[in-house]
Amino acid sequence: MPYFGYAKGDKKDEPRVLIRARVCADAIEAAGADRVVTMDLHSPQIQGFFKKSVDHLYAIPVLCEALDELKLKDVVAVAPDAGFAKQVRKYAGRLKDSVAIGDKIRCGHDEKAEIITIIGDVKGRDAVITDDFTITCNTLADIARVLKDKGANRIVACVSHLLLDSRGIEVLEKSAIELLLSTDTVPNLEAQKSKRIRIVSAAGLFADTVKRIHHRESVSVLFEDLYN
């Protein structure tokens, strides 16, 4: 299951509602699944919603290979908020760069957030914004604007799952983001309409994982450089 679609429903966020990710996990197991392979869950604790074994893969290796081709200089990896800081450090370790974090606040009860400032040195540097997925591209575009205001040079974004619709692509096209990289965990025909989007395949990573599971070999060795 390359993309676990109910991952944002990982907690009870309003009265008299179910924890949707838990319900989905129960349904998958009730249907007969005895092992789950997925990539970059929105909340890692969702693994605990399953009683069966879960292999949690990372898109970082395949996305960083694509980043290497861009020949970025003096790179800084940027998290959209403090909640993603742990994940962005994995990018920084793989790219051998430093980290900056967006200071984000939510003024209402909806999903809209505002980037106040960037914590970290980005002036004169190429920035790589990282996130697990994007739907509207608003957060990525907002943080790219602040990065430009802070003096960043080239700005690239990386997401594990691309959920953009046509409105999101319009936001991307008007933003300071030079290129948006994502894997093919979610088929997205709209992405083909934008020259600012590049899709890289995660099929090889999933194939290696399934092969290792079949032969009872370690899956974690595929991500050894992320744990150093």
Rounded alpha-carbon distances, angstroms, from residue 186 to 5, 48, 72, 99: 10, 23, 27, 28
Question: Whole-angstrom Cα distance, residue 182 to residue 2?
Answer: 13
* 8-state DSSP, 8: T
Q: Which two tokens stand for residue 42?
A: 């929105």
Does a structural domain hold residue 150? Answer: yes
What is the β-pairing status of strands 126-134 and 155-162?
A: parallel
3-state secondary structure (DSSP) of residue 172:
helix
Residues 117 and 185 in one domain: yes
Long-range Cβ contacts of 110-115 (<8 Å, 24+ apart): 112/138, 113/81, 113/139, 113/142, 114/142, 115/80, 115/139, 115/142, 115/143, 115/145, 115/146
Residues 13 and 114 in one domain: no
pLDDT, residue 180, reads 97
pLDDT, residue 89, reads 83
Contact assessment for residue 150 and residue 122, using Cβ atoms and an 8 Å cutoff: yes
Contact assessment for residue 50 and residue 119, using Cβ atoms and an 8 Å cutoff: no
3-state secondary structure (DSSP) of residue 71:
coil
Residues 67 and 11 in one domain: no
Domain boundary among 12, 31, 57: 57
Q: Is the dihedral of CA 107, 110, 114, 115 positive or negative?
A: positive
Nearest to 71 by CA among 178, 191, 182: 178
Contact assessment for residue 46 and residue 7, using Cβ atoms and an 8 Å cutoff: yes
The number of domains in the chain is 2
Residues 119 and 50 in one domain: no
Which amino acid makes up residue 183?
A: T
Residues 124 and 49 in one domain: no
3-state secondary structure (DSSP) of residue 33:
coil
pLDDT, residue 170, reads 94
Domain extent for 76: 60-203
Residues 36 and 100 in one domain: no
Residues 83 and 193 in one domain: yes
Residues 114 and 44 in one domain: no
Does a structural domain hold residue 117? Answer: yes
Question: Which residues lie below 8 Å from residue 57, measured CB to CB, with a gap of 6+?
Answer: 37, 38, 39, 40, 202, 205, 206, 209, 219, 222, 223
Question: Which pTM does this prediction carry?
Answer: 0.86
Question: Whole-angstrom Cα distance, residue 55 to residue 138?
Answer: 30
Residues 47 and 76 in one domain: no
Does a structural domain hold residue 123? Answer: yes
Please list the active-site residues. 104
Residues 90 and 36 in one domain: no
Task: Kindly give the confidence (pLDDT) of every residue in the chain, 228 residues in length, as a single tens digit, with 9 standing for 90 and above.
Answer: 999 988 777 777 777 778 888 889 999 999 999 999 999 998 888 888 999 999 999 999 999 999 999 999 899 999 888 777 778 888 877 777 788 888 766 555 455 566 667 888 889 999 999 999 999 999 899 999 999 999 999 999 999 999 998 999 999 999 999 999 999 999 998 888 899 999 999 999 999 999 999 999 999 888 877 655
Rounded alpha-carbon distances, angstroms, from residue 90 to 18, 26, 146, 160: 32, 30, 23, 14
Residues 26 and 87 in one domain: no
pLDDT, residue 114, reads 63
Does a structural domain hold residue 225? Answer: no
pLDDT, residue 106, reads 58
